[in-house]
Amino acid sequence: EIVLTQSPATLSLSPGERVTLSCRASQSVSSYLAWYQQKPGQAPRLLIYDASNRATGIPARFSGSGSGTDFTLTLSSLEPEDFAVYYCLQRSNLWTFGQGTKVELK
Amino acid sequence: EVQLVESGGGLVKPGGSLRLSCAASGFTFSSYSMNWVRQAPGKGLEWVSSISSGSSYIYYADSMKGRFTISRDNTKNSLYLQMNSLRDEDTAVYYCAREERSGYFDPWGQGTLVTVSS
């Protein structure tokens, strides 16, 4: 089973700040990695797929990078609606999620 | 509009069984693989099971193998999850999700809560 480790567990930030979230895989997943956003009481929403492709309707402030075992989700400037939990998901070998990173208001 | 609506959740005793359903609309259900993903209260996401469009390929997470059975009825645009021998740790919101051509899950339903407790 491929294990995804996200860091940090929590980020306390202010609107307008730049955010960098990390996801590390226990073995190479090539570029088969996605990022999801989840707000309280809601289903997850797909943000990025295949490491760097924005899903339909996702603002340009969200970007993804990486390949192999190290991946990054970047938000160029935090908007109030971006405070949420972010998960990575690999589909290289079945599917596994990271444990999530919570982006909270400072 | 693509819609996925789960149902069938509820309170069940340890060792009991439950069958979840997911009604799909707004897309050609028979053309897509479908998945179940769960989320324990206050915890992260956990992939449960996947079924291909024609039911030829079925996969389970290790902790669910032998207890859960995924199925679908393309004539009814419906996905199912039969859960047997339920344990306390199976308590979670269960989401159904369409598997996009890219291999990722999008969109998701709103989820149905399963509570396993005596």
Using CB atoms, pick whichever of A55, A87, A91 lies closest to residue B45: A87
**Closest CA in chain A for residue B105:** A46
What is chain B's length?
118
**Closest CA in chain B for residue A89:** B104
Give residue B35's pLDDT.
98
Q: Which of B23, B20, B9, B8 is nearest to B98 (CA)?
A: B23
Cα-to-chain-centroid distance, residue B72 = 10
Give residue B113's pLDDT.
98
Q: Do B110 and A44 touch (CB under 8 A)?
A: no
- Counting as low any pLDDT under 50, the low residues of chain A are none
> Chain A within 8 Å of B50 (Cβ-Cβ)?
yes
Give residue A10's pLDDT.
97
B41-51 residues labelled b (16+ CB within 10 A) or e (exposed): eeeebbbbbbb
Strands (DSSP E) found in chain B: 3-7, 10-12, 18-25, 34-39, 45-51, 58-60, 68-73, 78-83, 92-99, 105-108, 112-116
Give residue B82's pLDDT.
98
Question: pLDDT of A39-60, one tens digit each?
Answer: 999 999 999 999 999 999 999 9
Distance CA A58, CA A103 (A): 18
Contacts of B64 (CB under 8 A, 6+ apart): B48, B49
Strands B10-12 and B112-116: parallel
The residue with tokens 């990054």 is: A72
Instruction: Please report residues of B whose CB lies closer than 8 A to that of A49.
Output: 100, 102, 104
B104, B108, B110: which to substitute to probe chain A, counting the most A Cβ within 10 Å? Answer: B104
DSSP letter assigned to residue B19:
E
Question: pLDDT of B31-72, one tens digit each?
Answer: 999 999 999 999 999 999 999 999 999 999 998 989 999 999
Distance CA B7, CA B30 (A): 20
Question: pLDDT of B69-117, one tens digit each?
Answer: 999 999 999 999 999 999 999 999 999 999 999 999 999 999 999 999 9
Average pLDDT score over residue span B25-31:
97
Q: Do A89 and B100 touch (CB under 8 A)?
A: no
Give residue A11's pLDDT.
97
Using CB atoms, pick whichever of B45, B62, B106 lies closest to residue A55: B106
CA triplet B22, B41, A18: central angle to 5 degrees? 100
Q: Do B45 and A43 touch (CB under 8 A)?
A: no
